[in-house]
Amino acid sequence: MKTIVLGGGCFWCLDAIYKKVEGVTNIESGYAGGNTDSPTYEEVCLGKTGHAEVVRLSFDETKIDLKNILRIFFEVHDPTTINAQGADIGTQYRSVIFYSNPEDEIVISSSIEEAQKNLKNKIVTEVSSLPSFYLAEEYHQDYYAKNPNQPYCVAVISPKLEKFLK
């Protein structure tokens, strides 16, 4: 199994989308890229910890490779906006990729170049090695599947998921 940590807005959105991807074996919502240890959701939402909402994906490379994981990532969020995705605004919603394996940086760079060809604005996705990953609170895990009728899920996640599945 291989892992990658991705942030592209609210972690609930990425979780819901990657749950539908064959070869993704585990998804954990969490926080990364900040300057405090063991942040809470409330602290991250204030935008003062520097953490992004992220998902840590584990995937089976015999079924899906990192290149395709990243192709999906660049299709399901806007990597050209700084610290925002739609109405979600703040550093915690930034576009970011954290890798653990230095060889992945080459795949990430080529994926950004490929995605840029289809975008008018410049990709601003941050890329760096993973400093630390902090698991989000239990109620954030598999949030969309547990709360499909919650207003945010209906208004934001469901349309993204429907678009992705088409």
Task: Give the chain as a 3 state SS string.
Answer: CEEEEEEECCHHHHHHHHCCCCCEEEEEEEEECCCCCCCCHHHHHCCCCCCEEEEEEEECCCCCCHHHHHHHHHHHCCCCCCCEECCEECHHHCEEEEECCCCHHHHHHHHHHHHHCCCCCCCCCEEEECCCEEECCHHHCCHHHHCCCCHHHHHHHHHHHHHHHC
**Is 10 among the catalytic positions?**
yes
Q: Which of 10, 13, 45, 153 is catalytic?
A: 10
Catalytic positions:
10
